[in-house]
């Protein structure tokens, strides 16, 4: 995760974009990119969408992560730590069912 984070932040900083990346606009960008991801699946089965648009799906997923990493940086949030903590909560909320 550190390599991804540093690559994204270096790209942003080399272009002096950080002053324009406020929390609101980054959150909006995440939502917009998520909707672009959804467009690949509209009116298609999952299999059709993946078969027709896998490259675009990968790129939209990357865009979402790029904005998410920048938002986490802006808010001083360690995404890796937060994901691991959330998974612990999820494990308690949704225990493995035996049988």
Taking only the tens place, the pLDDT of each residue in 37-88 is 999 999 999 999 999 999 999 999 999 999 999 999 999 999 999 999 999 9
User: b/e string for 26-49 if b means 16 or more Cβ within 10 A?
Assistant: beebbeebeeebeebeeeeeeeeb
State the pLDDT at residue 99: 72
CB atoms closer than 10 angstroms to residue 70: 23
In this prediction, residue 97 carries a pLDDT of 92
How many residues are listed for the chain in this entry? 99
């Amino acid at each position: 995760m550190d390599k991804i984070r540093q690559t994204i932040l270096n790209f942003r900083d080399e272009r002096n974009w950080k002053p324009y990346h406020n929390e609101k606009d980054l959150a909006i960008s995440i939502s917009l990119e998520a909707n672009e991801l959804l467009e690949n699946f509209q009116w298609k089965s999952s299999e059709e969408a993946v078969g027709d648009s896998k490259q675009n799906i990968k790129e939209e997923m990357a865009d979402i992560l790029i904005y998410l990493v920048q938002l986490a940086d802006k808010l001083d949030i360690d995404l890796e730590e937060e994901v691991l903590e959330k998974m612990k909560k999820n494990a308690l909320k949704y225990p493995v069912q035996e049988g």
